[in-house]
Structure 1
């Protein structure tokens, strides 16, 4: 289908102008993802800075939950800024989101730690994470809409896929900065003040990004719609109260975005936490392996965006979800095998059983976060064992707690005692660098991220094609941020919690697998592929039976 806009897109707009639009929009998004992911890259490290000490697993869960807090307001940011973007314009709106993100990130770099101001530190940190989430909730929807409305419909997947790369580039940039600092600084200096530098450096990116975006013109599709007086007077009402639009949002979330979200965040963040906290691999090595895998895999975002222009987007996305559901567990097993073989050997020859005790009234995260030393011995035993990368079986009984290691019972739970017993039996306290197979680790990570590129590469074009111009910013932002913010953003925390409660280091992946499979089922039956659709189309017809235009094309 050819675009019929009276503005130059495919044949009138010069390639240089298109590249400038993509670069400026993408640069701002890289900046916002860098800001957002600096915390994610340091999530495990932050557990010791902003939360009370006394339980290693609790600190990790708290830091991951605070990372997830940044996703809480993302849907509300999507609603607020989506409304703004559909009423006053794409350009002005994503300039505002960028400024909010930059101020919040720089403030984190100046924030005192828990030892200095107590509970005020994590409280302020959560507020800043919420502001970051609010800003990024309106960022991506605006940027991808802006680029799509400048794109040739025949290459919309390729053009928007450059924006899909920005999340990974932001993460890659954050890892590179952190790795560089940890390489040139002593651990003591980095822990004392060096961790603040990545946050403060974002000010430079903010200035550059604001300048580049300020030079852009408003989207031609939006200008045409505004000139014709067809802008929505109430985009939020049009999204949530109009049946067709609401159905399109819900089907888009659960038939595409949900699977993409859990796959992307598992690939980019749970792998990081898994290798450092569970497998006890050196952080600098992990950052290096992940950085190399990202460099190798990132071009495939663009490849799959290009491929979606040739074969369609729907089945490409759903195929990636299905493959991820089938392969993530064996790939994570490969990370364990090659990342810390000594730990896996110790797990195989050592049997750990927790008997008795009552954990029902003391949920893992809430109890540990607010009073980690007062949690019940049963919960602390589970948390300790999983923080060491060990599994356990739990046998409920009316007796007092006992930890049984290879048939030897130890009454109650004394962490020092249990730790020493395990060390005496040969438990590695860290991965042996001589036995870490770096090449295979990079290969496993590459495969995991490759699957994420397959799902995420075509996603930008797919999303903008689901909604008409007058509610496109709102529709795209709401669908993306509810899926990514609430379903995907908490994936690392949910996965870690499932591991702690089950004693199975791979149990957390079941969340990703289940959501990905659910996405395949819903997407297969309810989503229509709308590749090359005219960006001015009036109806949201991306779902089965949603509009006349879809039927007219015989889709």
Structure 2
């Protein structure tokens, strides 16, 4: 009997490992495709939005990045409801195909110099398709993986999914750094920037193949057998007071807080160091890589810690740390960058900048480590996919995705490169307070209910 039980445990472990790898790789591709645009925002400005004022071109490029984020809730509403009605797996196949095809197409777009106004129109159109796809994938992937994870060490086992965003940025940044090193600036602007989008085609084939063999979640299969599926899951969510409350908490505290920290730490820091303090692009890429690598163990630790002490205290600590540390961290980054530009050969200054970026990564990890499990644990099984994906993507799209644009605009309005950072600081402080007052503990939640 013991041998049979051991074999069943090994089989179950191998099955979950296969599911986790396939889910994570697909989510990695979504993030890689989606965030390569952010990494190349500085390049896209003059290519697709030429202007006599470089700041105007950068704003236009960041606005195009934001467009993809703004439509994410639309994708979440469409694909999230489909996930509750027809299953998690079919939606996965649709979203990965849509994202991959849209991203590969970006690599073949003509520039403004070649086709004029059609260049930014086509770029924005493809960005919209990316946003719709990401809305169905990001959030839905968390539900799918958590429903397969079981109840033991659920926070740790699902925290790996949160590494896919940083990994997507890391892979994209490494590629771009390599291309900048191998190509002249003229070659990179001519065709080198297209290479990361072309590579998406090969990643898409791998992701599609691995996802084809995925199994539907046992929880959704159970709902299908007992005919507990909801015809209009999104409407049911808004009619139920408890679900509405949890959707708001997910939106404001967990997803928006995590999105603000993610885009501050993983996206805006690179833009700030390249454009505001004028550090060399190659050096900024290297620092971004080190900070991202530090995020990996921090995130897994936060997921593990949430299994021990609870999701709630870990998330609140991350929000508070971000609220207290973000503004002074960027002030110190500005000061240290100025010192480096005056004396470029001082390695100690670069080490201090790297440590600051690492500390910012810790606040992010504390919020996103338990996030995957929380997305599923807050909601009932029959409407979980739509209830989790809509507020999560609304927060990531409207709060996080527009963050670089809002901060840059506020900086320009106030004539200060740090003024806009009060926006994420105040937002994180409010999110921490609301979480402290109302966020429930969910680590022992039964996902079958």
Task: Give the TM bin, normalised by the shorter chain.
Answer: over 0.9
The yes-or-no answer on 1:433 pairing with 2:344 is yes
Contact 2:292 2:361 in 1 (8 A): yes
Alignment match of 1:57 (pick from 30, 33, 55): 55
Query: How many residue pairs align between the two structures?
Result: 442
Contact 1:37 1:170 in 2 (8 A): yes
Alignment match of 2:339 (pick from 319, 334, 341): 341
Contact 2:83 2:386 in 1 (8 A): yes
Instruction: Please give the alpha-carbon distance, in whole angstroms, between the structure 2 residues aligned to 1:142 and 1:321.
Output: 24
Alignment match of 2:86 (pick from 73, 85, 88): 88
1:481 maps to 393
1:411-444 CA deviation, whole Å, 9 max, x = no partner?
xxxxxxxxxxxxxxxxxxx776335722112111
- Higher Rg of the two aligned structures: 1
Instruction: Please give the alpha-carbon distance, in whole angstroms, between the structure 1 residues aligned to 2:235 and 2:441.
Output: 26
Judging by fraction of residues, say which structure has more helix.
Answer: 2
Contact 1:312 1:531 in 2 (8 A): yes
2:218 maps to 220
1:21 maps to 19
1:276 maps to 274
2:437 maps to 525
Structure 2 alignment gaps of length 5 or more: 1-5
TM-superposed CA distance for 1:508, in Å, is: 1.3
2:422 maps to 510
2:263 maps to 265
1:121-148 CA deviation, whole Å, 9 max, x = no partner?
1111111111111101010222111111
TM-superposed CA distance for 1:103, in Å, is: 0.7
1:316 maps to 314
Say what the alpha-carbon RMSD is for the aligned residues: 1.6
Q: TM-score, normalised by structure 2?
A: 0.95
Pairing 1:127-166 to 2, within 5 Å after superposition: 127-166=125-164
Please list every run of at least 4 consecutive aligned residues from structure 1 whose deviation after the TM superposition is greater than 4 angstroms.
10-13
1:51-71 CA deviation, whole Å, 9 max, x = no partner?
022111111111111111111
Contact 1:256 1:318 in 2 (8 A): no
The yes-or-no answer on 1:256 pairing with 2:254 is yes
Structure 1 alignment gaps of length 5 or more: 1-7, 343-429, 538-555
The yes-or-no answer on 1:170 pairing with 2:168 is yes
Instruction: Please give the alpha-carbon distance, in whole angstroms, between the structure 2 residues aligned to 1:431 and 1:106.
Output: 41
Instruction: Please give the alpha-carbon distance, in whole angstroms, between the structure 2 residues aligned to 1:157 and 1:341.
Output: 42
Alignment match of 2:106 (pick from 105, 108, 130): 108
Instruction: Please give the alpha-carbon distance, in whole angstroms, between the structure 1 residues aligned to 2:121 and 2:436.
Output: 43
The yes-or-no answer on 1:497 pairing with 2:409 is yes
2:376 maps to 464
Alignment match of 1:444 (pick from 356, 360, 364): 356
TM-superposed CA distance for 1:118, in Å, is: 1.3
